[in-house]
Copies of this chain bind each other. A is one copy, B any other.
Amino acid sequence: MDYARILREIAEEVRPLVGQGRAAEYIPPLARVPRDRFGMVVRTVDGEVFAVGDAGERFSIQSIAKVFGLTLAMRLEGDAVWKRVGREPSGSAFNSLVQLEVEHGIPRNPFINAGALVVLDLILSHQPDGVDLVLDFVRHAGAESPVGYDAAVAAAERATGHRNRALAHFLKSFGNLGNDPDRVLDAYFLLCSISMSCAEIAAAFQYLATGGLSATGERVATERQVKRVNAVMLTCGVYDEAGDYAYRVGLPAKSGVGGGVVAVMPGRFVATVWSPCLSEKGNSLAGTMALELLTTKTALSIF
């Protein structure tokens, strides 16, 4: 498979879309990211890396980090995770309180904000020092350059995160948050502010294409866990666009409002793409098209 050529073609074909849509503007550091960025990486299970565009530039990975959180929670708690969070697509906005009320405080899945708060609450109950455990996992999985939080993003999340505060207190009111809501929120705002490049993300997600082995060949998850994280990504990874993604892209994927998307073709590759402007549903517009082109051109998808 000539991934290098395919990536060049994709970069060419998506160019008209780059800058279309709207960047996430709710926090200043995201609003300031140049709208013309586009980068993409394909990293095969053999460790070969193909890149195009701004694939080395770091950006705010936002909700992509929720996959690390979920994997870590499954390692710590096993299937007990699912007593406190569902794994069904939400059918509504990622930060909706409606469904949480209707379903009595059990978030629909671990990738909507309420679900990620519950997952972090689980992790914090194991590790009082908190969200650094997630960064440890990222470093362990990715095994390359050190990654960290973007302090400006974290501060901005904290200052504007009123709805996430509402979600945390709402979860607490249902008894589905063991720790102090403010502590869980601090961890959440940090988690959302991790900065990584497409290349770094692809390395860190390697384990989801290899059945659990990290980029350096260490086992960081079981084969069973990997299949399940991939399944949850497919049904819940791209907000209320899961069906459209499965239809158009056909790969498990997780997006973030920073404009990044990571997709996994089990046994073959991890693909990461970044372009900051978003569709109405909150997924990178050019990024989604790039992934659709990738599965069309390679004729590889899970279906």
Contacts and interface: CB of A to CB of B under 8 A. Distances in A.
Interface of A: 86-92, 96-102, 108-109, 162-163, 165-170, 172-173, 181, 226-228, 230-232, 234-236, 240-244, 246-247, 250, 252, 266, 301-303
9 contacts: A98-B98, A162-B170, A163-B170, A165-B172, A166-B170, A231-B250, A234-B235, A235-B235, A235-B247
Contacts of A242: 88-89, 235
B227 A89 contact: no
A87 B89 CA distance: 12
A162 B169 contact: yes
Contacts of A99: 91
Contact of A101 (B87, B96, B244, B303): B96
A244 B88 contact: yes
A244 B234 CA distance: 12
Nearest to A266: B303
3 tightest A-B contacts by CB?
A91-B91, A162-B173, A166-B170
B91 A303 contact: no
Contacts of A100: 97
A176 to B, nearest CB: 11
A243 B109 contact: yes
A243 B91 contact: no
A239 to B, nearest CB: 10
Given A162-B172, A235-B247, 10 more contacts: A88-B89, A89-B242, A163-B170, A165-B166, A165-B173, A165-B181, A227-B303, A232-B243, A235-B243, A252-B303
Contacts of A232: 243, 246-247
A235 B236 CA distance: 9
B166 A169 contact: yes
Contacts of A246: 231-232, 234-235
Contacts of A91: 88-92, 99, 108
A97 B88 contact: no
A293 to B, nearest CB: 14
Which of A90, A232, A266, A302 is most buried by chain B, counting CB atoms within 10 A of its CB? Answer: A302
A166 B302 contact: no
A201 to B, nearest CB: 19
